[in-house]
A and B are shown apart, each in its own frame.
Chain A
Amino acid sequence: DIVMTQSPLSLPVTPGEPASISCRSSQSLLHSNGYNYVDWYLQKPGQSPQLLIYLGSRRASGVPDRFSGSGSGTDFTLKISRVKAEDIGVYYCMQGLQTPLTFGGGTRVEIK
């Protein structure tokens, strides 16, 4: 199974400041088609997870452009250019390359 490791576990942020979350996979997520099969989800308090980024860097429909995904192979990053109060919650990375689909442990983003 592919293990996904996220850091940090918790991320206190100041509104208006940037934030960054790291995700590392135990094996390469780069498919032969050139896409990295890593996704990012946000689970806001009391809600279901919602898709933010798929295929490493593609923003899902309706996701603000302050969210961006980058990386290749085994190292990936989710960046928020200027954090808003509505961005709080737990962020998860997930690999979609092979079953079993596996998630990182999550990063809790909270306002300082």
Chain B
Amino acid sequence: VQLVESGGGLVQPGGSLRLSCAASGFTFSEYAMNWVRQAPGKGLEWVSLITDDGDTTVYADSVRGRFTISRDNSRNTLFLQMGGLRGDDTAVYYCAKSPMTTVTPWFDFWGQGTRVSVSS
């Protein structure tokens, strides 16, 4: 299993960014996927979940209405469209795989993360 995130960078407050996670080594379309973030020097915060078929999405209160999770099962890729970015969105963003189709009782694999910095 490999999960490779990309798309991070420096963005101004209020700006947008689109993160990607390229998956390989497993049947991507059969598992729910998640984004988890970690602010500098801080702990882990779950951000969002999407079911295997992409029909259901769930968000943390801190990002609901600003972030959109999606997936392209034909390209084995997970996305996170981030808008209305704020300083407290600064973090390393990890793509994390669920062992199941619709829920995530645990994360069995994690990517290496992509860094997002929000600053003027």
Contact = CB atoms under 8 A, between A and B. Distances in A.
Contacts of A96: 103-106
Interface in B40-83: 43-46, 49, 58, 60-61
Given A102-B46, A103-B44, A103-B46, A49 B108 contact: no
Interface in A42-98: 43, 48-51, 54-55, 60, 90, 92, 94, 96-97
B113 to A, nearest CB: 6
Contacts of A51: 106-109
Given A92-B44, A106-B43, A100 B106 contact: no
Given A49-B94, A103-B44, A103-B45, A55 B110 contact: no
Nearest to A49: B110
B113 A55 contact: no
B91 to A, nearest CB: 13
Nearest to A48: B110
A103 B111 CA distance: 18
Interface of B: 34, 43-46, 49, 58, 60-61, 94, 103-113
17 contacts: A41-B44, A49-B44, A50-B110, A51-B109, A55-B105, A55-B106, A90-B43, A96-B103, A96-B106, A97-B105, A99-B49, A99-B58, A101-B34, A102-B46, A103-B43, A103-B45, A106-B44
**Which 4 residue pairs are nearest across A and B when measured between Cβ atoms?**
A96-B105, A101-B46, A54-B106, A39-B106
Given A41-B44, A99-B46, 14 more contacts: A39-B107, A48-B111, A48-B112, A48-B113, A49-B107, A51-B107, A51-B108, A54-B106, A55-B106, A96-B106, A99-B49, A99-B58, A101-B104, A106-B44
